[in-house]
């Protein structure tokens, strides 16, 4: 609901991030401006895009037309695999900022480690410079496993503020979350609703909680992310679902309900394995 206050999470660099946002993976570039405009009208102030989504321009137009003050928005974009390396990372952030029509992003992430290229440490050092230049307020990574994180932490003076990883009830990433908590790295869930690839409503643990609180299965799962202290930005093209996914602050899952949803983790990875994914 408009005006509803989204909690923020403190990042390890002193900045903070709204815990609930709106993701635009697979949002058609031609429709992005109108879809993000609807999301902003529904109350979202945190938008997660990426150079690879090819829709940064639409996000930027929606922001420009919204009249919302820049400092009320939290905008994330990501360095694509083909742009890793020092010079190309600097060029890539400049292109993303031009596409978005912004002077800075709130968060810039390395999209995937791409170990086959062997350039994520070098790219991380470039992100440190990009932050120092004021082009990104905070910097982080995405799809990094523990060993990738250890490498960038050992090779630099900055611990990533964020690791954005595949995370949903069937793939809860408990070990990586525990590692991140020890190092004060915030976790963001991608595919938080399982990308629609399995039915949330057909899982009795989720259906029971939805019934008990008079909410939808998607709202239960978003609540599960939030109550776990995770940052989450479900994607939908539909205005009713934008409102539904934002309307998650009027109920709370019990410890038993949280534990029941925790029990659904069976290691189902829906997306690529970060150790081998090398698409450019
Ligand atoms: P998601 O889990 O948010 O699933 C989106 C799908 O869930 C929708 O297409 C729709 O089918 C369904 N859905 C949405 N709201 C619903 C509702 N209220 N009821 C029923 N079904 C509903 O998956 P996602 O879009 O892949 O992930 C969210 C965001 O995470 C993306 O938009 C993107 O910003 C980010 N992401 C990042 C990476 C990465 O590699 N860093 C990868 C994928 C996604």
Please state the pTM of the whole predicted model. 0.98
* pLDDT for res 1: 46
pLDDT at 3 over 50: no
* pLDDT for res 173: 98
- Interval 167-182: pLDDT, tens: 999 999 999 999 999 9
Q: Which two tokens stand for residue 265?
A: 């983790």
- Interval 180-205: pLDDT, tens: 999 999 999 999 999 999 999 999 99
| Percent of the chain residues past pLDDT 90, beyond the cut | 98
Length, in residues, of the chain: 280
Please tell me what DSSP assigns to residue 161.
S
pLDDT at 11 over 90: yes
Our mutation pick for probing the ligand 1 site, out of 190, 221, 279, counting the most ligand atoms within 8 A of Cβ, is 190
Say if ligand 1 is within 6 A of residue 142 CB: yes
105 CB-near residues (< 8 Å, 6+ apart): 75, 76, 77, 93, 96, 97, 135, 136, 137
Say if ligand 1 is within 6 A of residue 236 CB: yes
* pLDDT for res 141: 99
Place of tokens 């709130």: 106
Closest by Cα among 91, 186, 75, 180 to 130: 91
Say if ligand 1 is within 6 A of residue 83 CB: no
11 CB-near residues (< 8 Å, 6+ apart): 17, 138, 161, 162, 186
C-alpha span between 183 and 158 (Å, rounded): 11
C-alpha span between 148 and 167 (Å, rounded): 18
Stretch 108-122: mean pLDDT = 98
* pLDDT for res 62: 98
Stretch 135-155: mean pLDDT = 98
Please tell me what DSSP assigns to residue 143.
S
Our mutation pick for probing the ligand 1 site, out of 25, 56, 144, counting the most ligand atoms within 8 A of Cβ, is 25
Stretch 8-20: mean pLDDT = 98
pLDDT at 5 over 90: no
Say if ligand 1 is within 6 A of residue 191 CB: yes
């Amino acid at each position: 609901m408009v005006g509803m206050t989204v909690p923020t999470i403190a990042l390890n660099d002193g900045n903070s991030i709204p815990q609930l946002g709106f993701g635009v993976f697979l949002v058609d570039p031609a429709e992005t401006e109108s879809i993000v405009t609807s999301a902003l009208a529904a109350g979202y102030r945190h938008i997660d895009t990426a150079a690879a989504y090819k829709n940064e321009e639409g996000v930027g137009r929606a922001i420009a037309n919204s009249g919302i003050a820049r400092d009320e928005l939290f905008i994330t974009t990501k360095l694509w695999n083909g742009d890793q390396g020092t010079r190309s990372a600097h060029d890539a952030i400049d292109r993303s900022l031009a596409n978005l029509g912004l002077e800075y992003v709130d968060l810039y992430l390395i999209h995937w480690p791409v170990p086959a290229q062997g350039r994520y440490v070098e790219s991380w050092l470039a992100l440190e410079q990009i932050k120092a230049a004021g082009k990104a307020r905070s910097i982080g990574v995405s799809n990094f496993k523990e060993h990738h994180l250890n490498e960038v932490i050992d090779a630099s003076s900055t611990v990533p503020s964020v690791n954005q990883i595949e995370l949903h009830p069937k793939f809860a990433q408990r070990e990586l979350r525990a590692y991140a908590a020890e190092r004060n790295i915030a976790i963001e869930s991608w595919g938080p609703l399982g990308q629609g690839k399995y039915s949330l409503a057909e899982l009795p643990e989720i259906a029971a909680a939805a019934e008990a609180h008079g909410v939808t299965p998607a709202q239960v799962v978003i609540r599960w992310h939030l109550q776990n202290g995770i940052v989450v930005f479900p994607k939908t093209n539909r205005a009713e679902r934008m409102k539904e996914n934002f309307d998650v602050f009027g109920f709370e899952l019990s410890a038993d309900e949280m534990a029941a949803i925790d029990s659904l983790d069976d290691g189902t990875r829906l997306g690529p394995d970060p150790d081998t994914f090398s698409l450019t």
